[in-house]
Structures are given as C-alpha cells and as structure tokens.
Structure 1
C-alpha cells in the first residue's frame, strides 16, 4: 500500500484521527480529517493522547481511509483506502487499547495528526500544541502495555489504597489524621515484591519524557492514565503518589538498601511532575534545569517542548533550524532580557 499523502493544512486548521471500531487484535484503521481550530470559539471534539514515541524499528502499519472532509460519520464501510502511515510499536499498542468495539473514537496524536516529513508544518503545529492539549475534551496518558509488574503496582497504588480512607467496621469515612495513620499502616504491610513493582512502574519511560512536563501542566482535571486495560483518573493518581511520597520520606522503605535511594528519587520525580500543574510562565532557566534529566528524541525539543509553559519568549518552533541555532537563539534572548548568561553554568 502506498504511503499516505498528507494534504496541506490551512492556517487555522488541525487534523484529527478518527479511530474506527475494532478489537485489540484487528488491523488499525483510521480516517484523518482537517478541522478549523480557533480556540476558544471554534474547537472540534477530540481526546488528546500523551505517549512515548519509543523505538520506530519494526513499525506497524496504520491504514488511512477516506478524504479529509469530516461528515460526522464514524463508519468506514463506504470509504476507500487512501494510504498507510508507519507507527512505532508503542503508539500502535496505545491505539489498539483506545479503540472501542462498538463505536469510533476521535483522537489527536502528534505522530499522525502532524506531517512529520514537513518541517514547516511541524513548526506551526508544535506551536499550537499548547492549545490542543488545553482545550481537548480529555487528555489520555498511555503509560505502557500492562505487565505483571505494572498490574501489581496499579493494584497497590490506585485500587486498594482508597480503602485507607474508610473504616468498614464503623461504616464511616476517616478524617485526615485517621486516614494518614491507616495509610502508613497500609504501606508498612507491603512486601518487597510490591515495592519492586512500584519501582518498576515509576521507572516507565513515560515519566522521563520531556513533552510530558508541558502536557501535564496544560491538561484539565478530566485526564486519565491508561496502563494496558487499566484506567486511573488524574485525582486518584495524584492521591496515590502524594501518599507514597509522604511515606517514602517519613518511613523506611521495605526494599533492598541499595535500591532505596533510587526508588525515593523515582517517587520524588513523579510527585514533582504531578505537582507542576501551576508552573505556567516559569523562567526559562528554571525550566531548563527542571527538565535537564528528561528525554526527547529531537534535541531542539529541549526548547520547543517547554515553550508552552515557560515565560514568554520571542521564539517560535522552527524545525528547519539546527539544534545549535535554536540554543543560540535562547541565549541571545536571555542575555538581552536579563543581561546575564549565568544560567549556562
């Protein structure tokens, strides 16, 4: 099948991905449509996907049907094949789990909705990503395909911990002090296998991804996290990490000594990430320091991946520039504004 040929976007347009219904095992089939995007007045409905690109080796084929004019139908039966797009395995797995069996689903994800072969389009659309996440119906974070370790961690952190807020014998909700005591007792009851699972879970590549820093700040409170088939809402996830963060620094972790510091660092990293939602308009030097250990596939994204949440800079994404030129632009602007380059030290 030939590669899908992207049609140019209008100056006020984005693309959406119509994910046709199917089971996890079925081939991935979608429609890619153009929509007017002028927030807050004209905003199409979609869910925005967070995910890690991961390895692009052994890609999976995404089959695109139909043209770019959306008629409201989520059915592909009368549409012709328009081409194919290669997907990394992680994104393909995410779409398979997002796909519904009874109806289509409308998604925005950068790998498909932005023509990655067109540097000029990437520059324009990356600049819009702040609004794309901010005004989406919901942000869906795809952390990983489920495994024995992640399933155990989700059960420990997000499915069983809520019981620490309720007294079944008295049939009442506990106050903050009572809940804190019960939560501490809960963590002390975990065994080393539980702690290893938590360590594995908090080490997932998603938590290290640079773009996540911007996306977590911009997402609304309806965001959800998916780990395989498991779904956890944002409030539950934050509560779980808050609880383990408190315990990690107040109590002795039940895990081998040589892993305690690393686990504590992982907990702190995720806690800091989830509590960064007020970090809008932070100074560029602070943001560069905050994200220095984060990972991104394109070195230019060290800058472009934080533009939506740092102080306003006279910089627009431009993927025709080299990484060196992008960094030099930041230095020039910072020196001109603050008369110092000490953030380079």
Structure 2
C-alpha cells in the first residue's frame, strides 16, 4: 500500500486507537467543505457496536506524485488526487458522512497502528452498510454496466438483470463499459476485489 503521508509536514490529527477493542475511525465532511476544499472530522467507533452505522470507500490510490490537501480535525493532510476527486463526488451526492477510508482513517505515519487496522479489513467491509466503489477515470455512463458489475461480485445470475430486457445495442454498450473496469487502476489495486467481495452491499 502506497502512503501519501510519510513526509507530511503537518501535525498529526490522530488520537490513539485501542486495538484490543477493535476501534476504527470513520470520517464525515463538515459544512466547511466546498467546491475548493474538503474538511473532515474523525470519530472513533468500535466494530462490535457499529453494525451498519458506517460506509466504506474502495478506490485506487493512484500516483504518489499527485497529491492534494484536505483538512482532517483541523489539520491539513496529503491525499492522492484520485481520493480527492472522489471525496468531492461524495460531497455533491450528499454521501460524505460516516465513511471508512483507509488513507484518511488510518494514521499512515504510524506503523504500529497500520498493520492491526489492515488486519481488521476482513471485518470492516462486511459490517459496512454500503461500499462505494470509486472507478475514477472509467465511471460507467450506463446503469447496465453497473448491473453487470454488481452481479459479477455478488454471484447473481446475469440473466436476471434488467439489462437483459433491453436492446442488443444497449447490452453491447454496457458490456463494453464493463470491460473498461478491468482496465482501470481500481481493478489492478490488490485490495479492491477483496473489499468488494467482503461488502454486504
């Protein structure tokens, strides 16, 4: 996993997590977030008490040379450009609350914290109410491609998709866009398939 914060010049916004209690942080955008800035607050929850009360974001970190600033608990931190753009999309959709995002919710400068948090991923994703997939650069333009993707990771029959009742041209276009997912940075990231397969929704 690439870290964008190893040389972060700013103070840390992170409190200590209690790994014995399976604590994680989730983040929420504040009213100070805008078109030009993302402002986040972190709060700590225990996994065993959090069933369905938070969401997750699955995305590709992208190039470590392309970074942007966001504010977390009043402190600027560096995040990848992919994540920065996805945060703005979530803000516009009104989905910027109670989200677990690895690059933000794990202290990337604290090696003692990182590994226990990564070990919890197999519990974090199944307990999330939803997992948002950030297909930055290849977002499907049709709902058909999204239907194929959802069916492929859930194991549902493709024949049951509403897409199969559409015209041959629409099916062909949906399949073409679905193939684009496998050419994206998201698909090549080692963690992402695990994240989606663990998700309940």
Shorter-chain TM-score: what band? 0.7 to 0.9
**CA offsets, 1:248-289, max 9 Å, x none?**
xxxxxxxxxxxxxxxxxxxxxxxxxxxxxxxxxxxxxxxxxx
Q: Please tell me whether the aligned partners of residues 33 and 39 of structure 2 are also in contact (alpha carbons under 8 angstroms).
A: no
Q: Which of 96, 104, 108 pairs up with 1:116?
A: 108
TM-score, normalising length from structure 1? 0.45
- Partner SS state of residue 84, structure 1: strand
Partner of 1:34: 44
Q: Is residue 2:5 matched to residue 1:18?
A: no
1:180–1:55 distance in 2 versus 1, CA, 3 Å? closer
Q: Is residue 2:142 matched to residue 1:155?
A: yes
**CA offsets, 1:294-318, max 9 Å, x none?**
xxxxxxxxxxxxxxxxxxxxxxxxx
Partner of 2:88: 96
Q: Which runs of 5 or more structure 1 residues have no equivalent in the other structure?
A: 66-80, 162-175, 223-345
1:1-345 equivalences under 5 Å are 2-11=10-19, 12=21, 13-21=23-31, 25-38=35-48, 42-43=49-50, 45-65=53-73, 81=74, 83-100=75-92, 105-145=97-137, 150=138, 153-155=140-142, 157-158=144-145, 186-187=168-169, 199-220=179-200, 222=201
Q: How many angstroms does 1:189 deviate by?
A: 8.6
Q: Please tell me whether the aligned partners of residues 18 and 107 of structure 1 are also in contact (alpha carbons under 8 angstroms).
A: yes
CA distance in 1, matches of 2:88, 2:79: 12
Relative CO higher for 1 or 2, CA cutoff 8 Å, sep ≥ 6? 2
CA distance in 2, matches of 1:54, 1:63: 20
Q: Please tell me whether the aligned partners of residues 145 and 177 of structure 2 are also in contact (alpha carbons under 8 angstroms).
A: no
Q: Please tell me whether the aligned partners of residues 21 and 101 of structure 1 are also in contact (alpha carbons under 8 angstroms).
A: no
CA distance in 1, matches of 2:132, 2:164: 33
Q: How many angstroms does 1:15 deviate by?
A: 0.8
Which range moves more in the overlay, 132-141 or 199-208?
A: 199-208
CA distance in 2, matches of 1:26, 1:190: 38
CA distance in 2, matches of 1:97, 1:47: 15
Q: Which runs of 5 or more structure 2 residues have no equivalent in the other structure?
A: 1-8, 149-158
CA distance in 1, matches of 2:116, 2:42: 18
Larger Rg: 1
Q: How many angstroms does 1:56 deviate by?
A: 1.8
TM-score, normalising length from structure 2? 0.73
Q: Please tell me whether the aligned partners of residues 22 and 101 of structure 1 are also in contact (alpha carbons under 8 angstroms).
A: no
Q: Please tell me whether the aligned partners of residues 126 and 198 of structure 2 are also in contact (alpha carbons under 8 angstroms).
A: yes
Q: How many angstroms does 1:190 deviate by?
A: 5.2
Q: How many angstroms does 1:26 deviate by?
A: 3.0
CA distance in 2, matches of 1:111, 1:123: 13
Cα RMSD of the aligned pairs, angstroms, is 3.5
